[in-house]
């Protein structure tokens, strides 16, 4: 879906530059491929477009598509959406760090590339908010590691925000994707990042805190009715129209757009409980599961 958002004229131009770079390398021309032609097979075969504008358009379109997916699947922990965004984050990272000629001709200016990398990273964090996903955390930590004069305040801010979203509420909260939540997320993570902490020229920095209005408590916990203490018990969640079940344990973060239909406790220490869960997707705050310990069990 992300690739389909790039117009054919941009795709063809990028492919033109990539082939020109590959031909230049094969002819031993090194990095001297900045668009005066495609490597010299014909005087008529000359680029009639602005290479830098094409690179910027390609990067911005891909980053914008990632941001759209991040907003659409915010807090859902959708693996397909996360994998698609993750792949684009790695692509931007490769454009930034890879010195290969065929990559360099696709590389926009550093400011554009950094903005797009930050936008795709925060999009991944939106999808995986509250999950503490280890692969995403490793990626954000690697991105945040760079610290030199070329890294602005806004870059540090957005990578820090991505890590914060990943562990939102200590893993007890996630982001909503309802019509009421979408404007809050767009205002908070609007992809124009400040240079300084006092930079309010293009976006009021106070609006960066509006994500809290889209955060929802979605943790499912079990409580012993006798001791009133929270306990960890194994649970089984049924999916609609399939015999497959998900095995997990409490505490359990219920992601947005979850389609579970039934919950069953599977503990030997506590009496079994069966709950209908079809209203989880529309309910704001999850209720606790109260369990009773069997006699003779510690």
Name which residue leads in pLDDT, 15 or 258: 15
Average pLDDT over residues 249-267: 80
pLDDT of residue 33: 43
Cα–Cα distances (Å) from 30 to 16, 51, 102, 103, 231, in that order, read 17, 18, 11, 13, 64
Q: Residue 274 forms beta bridges with which residues?
A: 264
Q: Check whether 43 has a pLDDT greater than 50.
A: no
**pLDDT at 45 > cutoff 60:** no
Question: What is the structure's pLDDT at 253?
Answer: 83
pLDDT of 238: 82
216 by DSSP, 3-state: which? strand
Rounded Cα distance between 212 and 232, Å, is: 28
For 76-124, how does the pLDDT look when each residue is reduced to its tens digit (9 = 90+)?
888 899 999 999 999 998 888 877 777 778 888 888 988 999 999 999 9
- In Å, what is the CA distance from 145 to each residue of 155, 166, 210? 11, 17, 26
User: pLDDT tens across 50-68, in order?
Assistant: 888 888 999 999 999 999 9
For residue 34, pLDDT over 80 is answered with no
Please report the pLDDT score of residue 37 as a whole number.
42
Q: What is the pLDDT of residues 220-244, one digit of tens each?
A: 888 988 888 888 888 888 877 777 7
* Segment among 29-38, 128-137, 266-275 with least mean pLDDT: 29-38
- Other C-beta atoms within 10 Å of 43: how many? 7
Q: Are strands 252-253 and 215-217 parallel, antiparallel or unpaired?
A: unpaired
pTM check: above 0.75: yes
For residue 285, the model assigns a pLDDT of 60
Other C-beta atoms closer than 10 Å to the C-beta of 87 total: 12
C-alpha pair distances (Å), 163 with each of 126, 135, 139, 223, 230: 10, 12, 10, 30, 27
């Amino acid at each position: 879906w992300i690739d389909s958002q790039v117009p054919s004229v941009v795709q063809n131009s990028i492919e033109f530059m990539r082939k020109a770079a590959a031909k230049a390398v094969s002819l031993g021309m090194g990095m001297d491929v900045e668009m005066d032609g495609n490597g010299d097979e014909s005087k008529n075969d000359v680029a009639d477009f602005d290479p830098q504008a094409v690179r910027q358009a390609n990067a911005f379109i891909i980053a914008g598509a990632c941001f759209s997916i991040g907003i659409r699947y915010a807090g859902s922990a959708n693996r397909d959406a996360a994998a698609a965004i993750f792949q684009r984050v790695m692509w931007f990272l490769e454009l930034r760090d890879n010195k290969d000629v065929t990559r360099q001709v696709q590389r926009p200016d550093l400011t554009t590339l950094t903005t797009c990398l930050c936008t795709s990273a925060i999009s991944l964090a939106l999808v995986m908010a509250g999950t503490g996903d280890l692969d995403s955390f490793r990626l954000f930590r690697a991105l945040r590691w760079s610290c030199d004069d070329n890294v602005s305040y806004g870059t540090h801010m957005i990578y820090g925000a991505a890590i914060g979203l990943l562990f939102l509420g200590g893993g007890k909260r996630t982001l909503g994707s309802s019509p009421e939540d979408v404007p809050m997320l767009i205002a908070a993570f609007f992809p124009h990042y400040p240079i300084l902490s006092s930079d309010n020229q293009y976006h009021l920095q106070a609006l960066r805190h509006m994500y809290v209005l889209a955060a929802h408590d979605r943790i499912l916990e079990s409580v012993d009715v006798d001791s009133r203490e929270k306990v960890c018990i194994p649970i089984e969640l049924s999916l609609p129209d399939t015999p497959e079940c998900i095995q997990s344990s409490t505490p359990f973060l219920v992601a947005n757009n979850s389609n579970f239909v039934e919950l069953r406790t599977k503990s030997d220490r506590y009496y079994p409980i069966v709950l209908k869960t079809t209203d989880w997707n529309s309910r704001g705050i999850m209720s606790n599961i109260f369990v009773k310990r069997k006699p003779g069990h510690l």
